[in-house]
Amino acid sequence: MKLRSLASRLLLASALLLPLFLGLTGYALNLGFEDSLEAAEAEGLQSHVYLLLGAAELEGNTLSLPEAFAEPRFSQLNSGLLAEVRDQQGQQVWLSESGRLLVDELNTRQAKKPASNSPLRSGGTQFFSEKLADNPFFIFNHDVSWETSEGQERVFRFTIFHEQSLFIAARSAYRAQLWRWLGAAAALLILMQWLILRWGLQPMKRLAAELKAIESGHHEQLEGEYPREVQQVTDNLNAVITREMQQRERYRNSLSDLAHSLKTPLAVLRGSLGRAEEREEQIETQVQRMDEIIGRQLQRAITRNLAPQNKVRDIGQIAQRLALALGKVYREKDMRFEAHVNEDCSFNGDARDLMEVIGNLLENAFKYGHKHVALSGNIEEDVLLIRISDDGPGIEESLQNDILKRGARADTAQTGQGIGLAMATEIISGYGGSLEVSRAALGGAEFIVSLPR
């Protein structure tokens, strides 16, 4: 099964981990509680031993203890607390009133289980659990040595038995309480986590809703305030959306441009259908016009790439390649080409676009120049300037503006392919740049391309 929602993934993970974590916590708490209960028990039994020791007296060889104690449970039958004293041979020397019904059990125990009755050692204590008459008991041994009036040393073992029923009751009460609280904590934690997730994922929901609104055309941008992590995504999304919209806008413009500009030549063609003598010439002109229009739009559609993150650094190399290729086409001119491109020159955009611009301008320079073409590139006030000049006839000042207009050609005598300069202008303006013409130091025309960086 694949979980598609982030919230359910996180919830499932914590629903699996939380019981494990809480179980371990409960186990540790329970263990700690038992340990401290038992420690308290051992301490209590030890103090009972002291009570007995304080009351015990050695007369001759026999140890005597009084009938009644400050602790009434020793005198009460079946009180759950009993005490016995045995000598080195394991003989019972004394038994509290409360244990009278268990005499046999105690003797059997002594006989049966010497293991729990390790050899006597003066001052030694032992604390452990054991079953007596099918009931669990805490047992505390304390070995004491007495010096008789003859100066003999005698060792006795004082043993306190305490039934565990109270302890067990306390422990299960604690456990029940513990699990109830832990369960409640788990439920609360999962609930809180669910709320936190809902709250934390709220921006995502909003984002989805906003995207839907954009998709259905109600919005143009993601406008909401988002947390920093999501904001990066929305900023990028906005950039993509803007680019898409610009692209769409451009396609729409191109299409309507194309449709409108093709209609005129078609109208002319239709108008000339009746007059035979005009027909051929008109068809020729209009077909050429339509071809140029299509070519321009096609080129626009193919080459334009709005990705601004591209950086073209090898402007000099592009120019050299183009010049080498053009040198081949205009071989008989034996053109001298010089390129000076500063090292810091770079162009933010598509390398093919740059190639189109430089290619079209260089082609003109090679076509109209006599012996010499020069290209320079440098950065001035964060604008990339590319100058292309030749030693040809140049362009008259009065024509310099016209020549930059679409498709206009100052010289119709030269066979050319028409739309090169217009293409260059179009691409340059697409990047927010400009193209100027002036007279070159070489004597011919100089084209100056300015492209913002």
322 binding other proteins? (CB under 8 A): yes
Identified binder of other proteins from the candidate list 329, 379, 408, 441, rule CB under 8 A = 329
Structure tokens at 93: 């020397």
- If you count them, how many residues does the chain have? 453
Question: Rg for the chain (alpha carbons), in Å?
Answer: 53
Size of the site for other proteins (CB under 8 A): 22
210 versus 356: smaller Cβ distance to other proteins: 356
Selected from 6, 101, 168, 298, the binder of other proteins by CB under 8 A is 298
Q: Which runs of E-coded beta strand occur in 13-87?
A: 57-59, 62-64, 81-86
Which residues of 216-332 form beta strands (DSSP E)?
311-312
Distance of alpha carbon 432 from alpha carbon 304, whole angstroms: 13
Q: Least CB distance from residue 236 to other proteins, whole Å?
A: 30
CB of 230 to other proteins, least distance (A): 41
Which span (48-56, 60-68, 89-97, 293-301) binds other proteins, by CB under 8 A?
A: 293-301
Cα–Cα distance between 135 and 239 in angstroms, integer? 80
Starting at the earlier edge strand, list the strands of the sheet with 81-86. Answer: 92-95, 81-86, 153-163, 135-147, 125-132
Residue 303 found at the interface with other proteins (CB under 8 A)? yes
Smallest distance from the beta carbon of 321 to other proteins, in angstroms?
A: 5
Residue whose structure tokens are 């050609």 = 409
In whole angstroms, what is the distance from residue 137 CA to residue 163 CA?
Answer: 4
Q: Which residues are 337's β-sheet partners?
A: 373
Per CB under 8 A, the list member of 206, 250, 289, 321 interacting with other proteins is 321
Among 223, 291, 338, 436, binds other proteins (CB under 8 A): 291
Q: At its nearest, how many Å lie between other proteins and the CB of residue 360?
A: 8
Near other proteins in 338-357, by CB under 8 A: 352, 355-356
Which one, 77 or 287, has the nearer CB to other proteins? Answer: 287
Q: Quick one: DSSP state of residue 338? A: E
Joined tokens for residue 29 = 């708490």
The contact mask relative to other proteins for 389-428 (x = CB under 8 A, - = no) is --------------------------x-x-----------
Say how far apart CA 93 and CA 335 lie, in whole Å. Answer: 133
Residues in touch with other proteins (CB under 8 A): 291, 295, 298-299, 302-303, 321-322, 324-325, 328-329, 331-332, 352, 355-356, 358-360, 415, 417
